[in-house]
């Protein structure tokens, strides 16, 4: 698929912000104490990874701080790259754990059709199959659901008389040959990506109306009306911060509750402790709380490691 790539000063700023965030994380003190200290991971070494967007950075840093508080020796490899990069790192043993989404596990990693729209049922299905086929254990499950979506700017939404639906969005793009939908590099080719919207609406998005941008740039460029519509993560704090409006989705996009994913050998070194720690991290995180934490990073520019630790402290999990 031929795709156009757009560069702007936003991209330079985004890269700089990631570099600064990485440096800040590297200088952060080791976590200790709190209720997680009762789970003894002394003598266990664990490499923690994540994907490369804000929510994943926060969740990865939560794992780093939590495991340190429980006495583990932690190798922080947060911010590895996209979905395929993070999964490959787990399968190769480069990392021992990262947070993954049940919809991604089902459709992308296992390549299965027709996922359940019941979160617990979907997670249970992924957990059973991934362990049997790949010796990967899924641990815990979040309340919050972060799914793919599309947004439009305040001006475009107002001109439309209110929020677009997936159908009216695609009809608008079809009727306006200069309209652009901005997306991440993976989204047009993912089994759980653009194809779901195309199948639902019966309208295919032409290559020349697709613009591939870095994740963070999509939000600002959509708000600036340089993208008619932007593909986003629905719990991202930049949506309310920039006044973007989500395109209404009748249930086309898959569910994405998050779980820890670990190699079975590492998990079996301390299964009860890993279960308890990951469940303690995820239990308070509903959609509102996760979007708030995401906003601290994406909208306010704070380091993910600081946001993660403050959350764990606020829940009494670390001191």
Neighbour tally for 211: CB within 10 Å:
20
In a domain, 10, yes or no: no
φ, ψ for residue 246 (rounded to 5)? Answer: -70, 135
Q: What are the pLDDT digits (tens) for 269-319?
A: 999 999 999 999 999 999 999 999 999 998 899 999 999 999 999 999 999
Range of the domain at 70: 29-143+258-314
Quick one: tokens of 227?
């993208």
21 pLDDT more than 90: no
Give the domain CATH number at 166.
Answer: 3.40.190.120
Is 263 in the same domain as 134?
Answer: yes
Quick one: tokens of 138?
């899924």
Q: What are the pLDDT digits (tens) for 127-158?
A: 999 999 999 999 999 999 999 999 999 999 99
Q: What are the pLDDT digits (tens) for 186-234?
A: 899 988 899 999 999 999 999 999 999 998 899 999 999 999 999 999 9
Tokens 């249970």 belong to which residue?
124
- This prediction's pTM: 0.80
Is 170 in the same domain as 183?
Answer: yes
Q: What are the pLDDT digits (tens) for 245-260?
A: 999 999 999 889 999 9
Number of domains in the chain: 2
CA-to-CA distance for 318 and 30, rounded, in angstroms? 11
Is 154 in the same domain as 180?
Answer: yes
In a domain, 307, yes or no: yes
């Amino acid at each position: 698929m031929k795709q156009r790539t757009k560069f702007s000063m936003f991209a330079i700023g985004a890269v700089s912000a990631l570099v600064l965030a990485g440096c800040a994380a590297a200088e952060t003190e080791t976590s200790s104490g709190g209720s997680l200290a009762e789970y003894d991971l002394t003598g266990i070494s664990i490499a923690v990874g994540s994907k490369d967007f804000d929510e994943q950075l926060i969740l990865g840093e939560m794992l780093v701080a939590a495991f340190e508080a429980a006495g583990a020796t932690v190798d922080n490899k947060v911010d590895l790259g996209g979905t395929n990069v993070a999964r490959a790192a787990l399968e190769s043993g480069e990392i021992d754990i990262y947070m993954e989404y049940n919809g991604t596990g089902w459709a992308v990693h296992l390549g299965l059709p027709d996922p359940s729209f019941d979160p617990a049922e979907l997670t249970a299905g992924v957990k059973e199959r991934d362990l049997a086929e790949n010796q990967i254990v899924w641990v815990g499950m979040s309340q919050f659901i972060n799914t793919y979506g599309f947004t439009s700017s305040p001006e475009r939404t107002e001109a439309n008389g209110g929020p677009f639906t997936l159908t009216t969005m695609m009809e608008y793009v079809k009727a306006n040959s200069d309209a652009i939908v901005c997306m991440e590099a993976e989204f047009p080719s993912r089994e759980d990506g653009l194809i779901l919207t195309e199948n639902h609406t019966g309208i295919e998005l032409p290559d020349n109306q697709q613009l591939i941008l870095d994740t963070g740039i999509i939000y600002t460029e959509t708000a600036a009306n340089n993208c008619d519509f932007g593909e986003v993560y629905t719990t991202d704090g930049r949506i309310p911060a920039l006044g973007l409006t989500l395109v209404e989705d009748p249930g086309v996009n898959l569910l994405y509750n998050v779980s820890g994913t670990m190699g079975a050998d590492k998990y079996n070194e301390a299964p009860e402790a890993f279960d308890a720690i990951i469940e303690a991290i995820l239990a308070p995180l509903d959609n509102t709380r996760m979007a708030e934490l995401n906003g601290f990073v994406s909208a306010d520019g704070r380091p993910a490691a600081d946001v993660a630790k403050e959350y764990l402290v606020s829940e009494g999990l670390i001191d």
